[in-house]
């Protein structure tokens, strides 16, 4: 039999254990709510410093705008959404470290972001090892929803790099049957390879020849060594993919060298994205590109977003802003669908995958079985608005485009991913 003193000591130890357990933080990756009536933390990664700062700030602004307009309370106001933001500084190692902070210190149950492909790879390697879902509205690495797909990586409101350029090649050759020879110029990294790869694969399958391919380093300040290589290649037209600050420098140089009115130029959506178009002038007018977003789309869902963003931030929204705005819309519906109880990760991710947006800033969107959107692709033209600002207006809409375009998925995936050297069976 225990003595009265020892009995009291054991009771105190038991009470202390309960108290300590109740004060302990949740396990890494745990969230602070399992049902309506608490708080759900969302980890947000974007670069607001470094080379991607302008695009990253647009991401943050788009995300914040959705919650500002719609409120951050879900499930009849019982559950609060709290955003925990970290700046990746446009550096992969920093992005991974910030993801680790979000998971292990802030205890977020999932992460949205970041921006660049190399950041995304660094973050996804960590989050997959930890069993944490990551949502990618912006990173467009083809293979992460193809050969290297994971149930923990979902591209809500996103795309793959080659998704717009597959149908773009078809459209160009249908509209301009006399264009038989193409030259390409693109940034020398994975997005450039995949963007050009989609274009070249389809163009060559339709009988075109690629007479020259030029790769410039990211961060190119002087395009004079590169432009003559494509301009003098004897091509009927040129396809270009330039990103962030390289884009306005490329477009300006193309015009200054006198090529604008001599050689037809077609580009990826990033080259004339609003985040860069803001710093361009007449040299950009008339450029035709393809993308899953067009801020000049004459549709209430797009224009209500454009007008709200312009009012809030004094500028037209880029695709980066639209992506995070729509991601917030998507996730809010997914969280509501499980009654704000995200403790069952599988049920929550199933709900997110099941969301179908009848309309959005992008247009209709749903996910394929690989976790990538099926969406409109817009053939866009840069035009000047009545207020003098430039924007992208659709001249044709290609609906329901998947990441595989009109290829059989199994056959498509049997081939290697697009790289600097491989761009389809008929490519050079």
- pLDDT at residue 427 is higher than 90: no
Rounded CA-CA distance 338/27 in Å is 22
428 part of a folded domain: no
Same structural domain for residues 222 and 294? yes
Same structural domain for residues 291 and 314? no
Q: Is-cis flag, bond preceding 114, omega within 30?
A: yes
Nearest to 130 by CA among 345, 331, 299: 345
Same structural domain for residues 252 and 322? no
- pLDDT at residue 364 is higher than 90: yes
Rounded CA-CA distance 252/255 in Å is 5
Same structural domain for residues 314 and 207? no
pLDDT digits (tens, 9 = 90+) for 46-101: 999 998 899 999 999 999 999 999 999 999 999 999 999 999 999 999 999 999 99
Structure tokens given for 424: 């389809």
Rounded CA-CA distance 139/135 in Å is 9
pLDDT digits (tens, 9 = 90+) for 110-139: 999 999 988 999 999 999 999 999 999 999
29 part of a folded domain: no
Q: How confident is the model at residue 16 (pLDDT cuts 50, 70, 90)?
A: very low
Give 182's strand partners. 210, 237
Asked whether the beta carbons of 423 and 324 are under 8 A apart, the reply is no
Count of structural domains within the chain: 2
425 part of a folded domain: no
pLDDT at position 10: 38
Q: How confident is the model at residue 12 (pLDDT cuts 50, 70, 90)?
A: very low
Same structural domain for residues 226 and 269? yes
Same structural domain for residues 334 and 406? no
pLDDT digits (tens, 9 = 90+) for 296-320: 999 999 999 999 999 999 999 999 9
Average pLDDT over residues 245-273: 97
pLDDT digits (tens, 9 = 90+) for 384-409: 999 999 999 999 999 999 999 999 99
259 part of a folded domain: yes
pLDDT at position 21: 37
Same structural domain for residues 196 and 51? no
CATH number of the structural domain spanning residue 59? 3.40.50.2300
- pLDDT at residue 143 is higher than 60: yes
Same structural domain for residues 269 and 145? no
423 part of a folded domain: no
- Name the average pLDDT for the chain: 92
Rounded CA-CA distance 132/179 in Å is 47
* Pairing relationship of beta strands 153-154 and 134-135 according to DSSP bridges: parallel
pLDDT at position 35: 54
Same structural domain for residues 289 and 174? yes
10 part of a folded domain: no
Same structural domain for residues 384 and 269? yes
pLDDT at position 424: 86
- pLDDT at residue 351 is higher than 80: yes
Same structural domain for residues 261 and 392? yes
pLDDT at position 314: 98
274 part of a folded domain: yes
Nearest to 103 by CA among 31, 38, 39, 156: 31
19 or 216, which is more confident?
A: 216
Same structural domain for residues 234 and 142? no
Of 20-24, 32-36, 177-181, least confident by mean pLDDT is: 20-24
**Where among 374, 404, 423 does a domain terminate?**
374
- pLDDT at residue 19 is higher than 70: no
- The residue ranges of DSSP E strands in 195-251, in sequence order, are 209-216, 237-241
pLDDT at position 25: 36
424 part of a folded domain: no
Domain with 98 in it? 39-161+300-374
Q: How far is CA 159 from the centre of its chain?
A: 6
- pLDDT at residue 102 is higher than 90: yes
Rounded CA-CA distance 39/255 in Å is 52
What is the C-alpha radius of gyration for the chain, rounded to an integer number of angstroms? 24
C-beta atoms surrounding 219 within 10 Å: 11
pLDDT at position 425: 72
């Amino acid at each position: 039999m225990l003595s009265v003193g020892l009995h009291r000591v054991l009771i105190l130890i038991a009470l202390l254990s309960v108290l300590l357990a109740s004060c302990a933080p949740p396990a890494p990756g745990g969230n602070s709510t399992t049902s309506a009536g608490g708080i759900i933390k969302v980890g947000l990664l974007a670069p607001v410093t470094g080379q991607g700062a302008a695009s990253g700030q647009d991401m943050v602004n788009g995300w914040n705008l959705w919650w500002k307009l719609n409120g951050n309370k879900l499930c009849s106001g019982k559950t609060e959404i709290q955003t925990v933001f970290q700046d990746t500084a446009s550096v992969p190692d920093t992005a991974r470290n910030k993801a680790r902070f979000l998971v292990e210190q802030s205890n977020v149950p999932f992460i949205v972001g970041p921006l660049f492909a190399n950041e995304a790879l660094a973050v996804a390697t960590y989050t997959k090892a930890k069993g944490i879902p990551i949502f990618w509205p912006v990173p467009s690495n083809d293979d992460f929803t193809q050969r290297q797909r994971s149930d923990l990586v979902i591209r809500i409101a996103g795309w793959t790099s080659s998704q717009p350029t597959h149908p773009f090649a078809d459209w160009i050759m249908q509209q301009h049957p006399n264009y038989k020879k193409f030259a390409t110029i693109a940034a020398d990294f994975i997005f450039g390879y995949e963007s050009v790869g989609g274009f070249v694969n389809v163009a060559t399958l339709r009988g075109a020849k690629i007479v020259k391919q030029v790769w410039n380093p990211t961060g190119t300040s002087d395009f004079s060594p590169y432009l003559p290589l494509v301009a003098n290649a004897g091509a009927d037209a040129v396809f270009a993919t330039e990103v962030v600050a390289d884009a306005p420098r490329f477009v300006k140089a193309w015009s200054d060298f006198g090529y604008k009115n001599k050689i037809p130029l077609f580009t990826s959506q990033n080259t004339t994205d609003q985040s860069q178009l803001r710093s361009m002038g007449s040299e950009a007018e008339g450029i035709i590109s393809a993308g899953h977003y067009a801020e000049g789309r004459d549709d209430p869902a797009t224009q209500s977003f454009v007008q709200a963003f312009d009012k809030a931030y004094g500028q037209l929204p880029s695709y980066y802003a639209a992506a995070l705005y729509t991601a917030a819309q998507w996730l809010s519906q997914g969280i509501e669908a499980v009654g704000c109880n995200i403790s069952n990760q599988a049920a929550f991710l199933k709900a997110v995958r099941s969301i179908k947006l009848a309309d959005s800033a992008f247009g209709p969107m749903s996910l394929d079985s690989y976790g990538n959107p099926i969406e409109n692709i817009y053939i866009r033209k840069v035009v000047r608005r009545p207020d003098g600002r430039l924007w992208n207006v659709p001249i044709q809409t290609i609906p329901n485009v998947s990441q595989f375009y009109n290829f059989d998925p199994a056959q498509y995936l049997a081939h290697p991913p697009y790289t600097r050297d491989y761009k389809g069976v008929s490519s050079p």
